[in-house]
Structure 1
Amino acid sequence: MMGKFIIAPALFLSGISGVQAADVVVQEPVPKYNWSGLYVGAEAGYAWGKSTYDEPDFSTAYNMYYDPKGGFGGIYFGYNWQFENNLVLGGEADFYGGDIKGRSDYYIDHVPIGVGEVWGDAKLRWAGSVRARLGYAVDRFLPYVAGGVAFGQLKFGHMDTSANWEDGWDRSETHTGWTIGGGLEYAFTENLIGRLEYRYTDFGKRTIPLDYEKDLPTTHVSLKTNDVRLGIAYKF
């Protein structure tokens, strides 16, 4: 009789344990996001910069300070390689254009002359870059830095309407320089990746020889820009 009282609770407890064991669900670990692969994207942003025009052939300083700014849009594409230590290396190229432009008075010895009558303007018609990227993957987040070669075409000119007649000229020159920046990417899905990026670009200084047909002096033109951009890409 005593044996029955001992066996019954044991069976009851055993049954409870069996039910609890059956309720335990073994969950597979969620794999981390892998950043390796080819991607193509579209971007939009806002840029502001410094662009200086000067005529070094003369002892007197003749200058304009265009300082273009404005919005732009473009495309980018690249490839990432993710390593076991979560480092991500990549290469990327981009191309963009927009309404990045500015206007300047004409300065002699750093004093503006003919304000409203003698002036110049400039516009960054298009630009692009080829960059290397280095990032550290935190699952679906990827903070990164990037840098490389930059190039762009700047159209600039000068206009004089002070004598009741218009006398002006403009030129387009392609600049080559360098760019550096950084940003943060986030993988919304396995294929859709968004980004926020800041970039500084020095397009360099172009020396443009004397143009005898237009009676223009040798000029130096430089351009440096800062920009903030948003992008969305598809990873294959």
Structure 2
Amino acid sequence: MRKIAIALLSTTALFGISAQPASAADIARPVYKAPPPVVAMYNWTGFYAGGNIGWGWSSGDGDIIINGAAGTFSGSGDGFFGGVQAGYNWQNGPWVVGIETDFQASAGNGSISGFAGGNTLTASGDSPWFGTIRGRLGVAQDRALWYVTGGALYSKSEYDGIVTGFGPFSGSDTTWTWTVGGGLEWALFDRWTAKIEYLYAGPSSSVPSIPATRVTDGWADTHIIRTGLNFRF
């Protein structure tokens, strides 16, 4: 009888030990999910160059003296333009600092008229080219760069007209002024970006030399809006 009890205990123990692995296999193992891949933020640092097209318009008015008589003048102009730009960006965190220069060929033209006593001035002109040298300060939101910009604008003006009491005249002038604006640049691919930009320019540093005529006071506003593509090197 004792031998039978010992045999039963041994058999029970054997089955208990052999059953443990089966019971452990029935317990669900925890599932560990792989962490999501880390996506690198877009880096705006580096050289870039590209092209742009746009539209510009301007208007102005002021006081004028023609043949010794005081009067007023006004003028306006507009036109398409296109050109190239190049620059460099430095990025530190979300902040992007850069410098950019551009040169544009322009189809802009306009006219000016003045009246002083019995004297009149009528003239027309065009601006075959202009360019800017500007700094840029922006905030990057990954592939989007919002920025403000400011610096200098230079331009070429060619004009001809007539002043009563004097006759016809013509000439050309290269002038400088300041410009400010802002824009949005978007990274399309790793090396290609697109932008839209607005610039405002103040009155020129000098006015065209017109015979028997002198501008005593005046103001002019110029607005530029353009879109372009850049390639980052």
State the TM-score bracket (shorter-chain normalisation): 0.7 to 0.9
Indicate if the aligned counterparts of 2:64 and 2:73 stay in contact, CA closer than 8 A: no
Shift of 1:4: 6.3
In structure 1, the gaps of 5 or more residues are 211-215
Letter of the aligned partner of 2:171 in structure 1?
A: R
Choose 220-229 or 188-197, whichever is displaced more.
Answer: 220-229
Structure 1 vs Structure 2 CA RMSD:
2.9
How far apart in 1 are the matches of 2:55 and 2:84?
Answer: 15
Letter of the aligned partner of 1:233 in structure 2?
A: N
How far apart in 1 are the matches of 2:213 and 2:45?
Answer: 49
User: Which secondary structure state, in structure 2, belongs to the residue aligned with residue 153 of structure 1?
Assistant: strand
Residues 150-186 of structure 1: CA deviation (Å, up to 9, x unaligned): 11112222147x9xxxx52221111111100001110
Where does residue 224 of structure 1 map in the other structure? 221
Q: TM-score, normalised by structure 1?
A: 0.78
Shift in CA distance, 73/102, structure 1 to aligned 2, threshold 3 Å = same
Within a 5 Å distance, the mapping from 1:59-74 to structure 2 comes to 59-74=68-83
User: Which secondary structure state, in structure 1, belongs to the residue aligned with residue 39 of structure 2?
Assistant: coil
Where does residue 193 of structure 1 map in the other structure? 193
How far apart in 2 are the matches of 1:235 and 1:79?
Answer: 9
Indicate if the aligned counterparts of 1:79 and 1:90 stay in contact, CA closer than 8 A: yes
State which of 226, 230, 233 in structure 1 corresponds to 2:230. Answer: 233
Larger Rg: 2
Residues 28-87 of structure 1: CA deviation (Å, up to 9, x unaligned): 31000000000001111111112458643655235542311111111110000001x321
User: Which secondary structure state, in structure 1, belongs to the residue aligned with residue 212 of structure 2?
Assistant: coil
Where does residue 56 of structure 2 map in the other structure? 47
Where does residue 78 of structure 1 map in the other structure? 87
**How many residues of Structure 1 are paired with residues of Structure 2 in the alignment?**
215
User: Which secondary structure state, in structure 1, belongs to the residue aligned with residue 204 of structure 2?
Assistant: strand
Shift in CA distance, 183/209, structure 1 to aligned 2, threshold 3 Å = closer
Shift in CA distance, 209/229, structure 1 to aligned 2, threshold 3 Å = closer
Residues 67-121 of structure 1: CA deviation (Å, up to 9, x unaligned): 11111111110000001x3211101101112221112444336x996xxxx7321
Indicate if the aligned counterparts of 2:98 and 2:136 stay in contact, CA closer than 8 A: yes
Q: TM-score, normalised by structure 2?
A: 0.79
Within a 5 Å distance, the mapping from 1:92-107 to structure 2 comes to 92-107=100-115
How far apart in 1 are the matches of 2:71 and 2:47?
Answer: 49
Identity level (%)? 28
In structure 2, the gaps of 5 or more residues are 1-14
Q: After the TM superposition, which parts of structure 1 deviate over 2 Å for at least 4 consecutive aligned residues?
A: 1-10, 24-28, 51-66, 103-109, 207-210, 218-224
How far apart in 2 are the matches of 1:223 and 1:107?
Answer: 18
Where does residue 25 of structure 2 map in the other structure? 11
Does residue 130 of structure 1 match 2:125?
no
Residues 124-174 of structure 1: CA deviation (Å, up to 9, x unaligned): 2211111111011110111000101111112222147x9xxxx52221111
How far apart in 2 are the matches of 1:194 and 1:187?
Answer: 7
How far apart in 1 are the matches of 2:90 and 2:72?
Answer: 47
Choose 149-158 or 50-59, whichever is displaced more.
Answer: 50-59
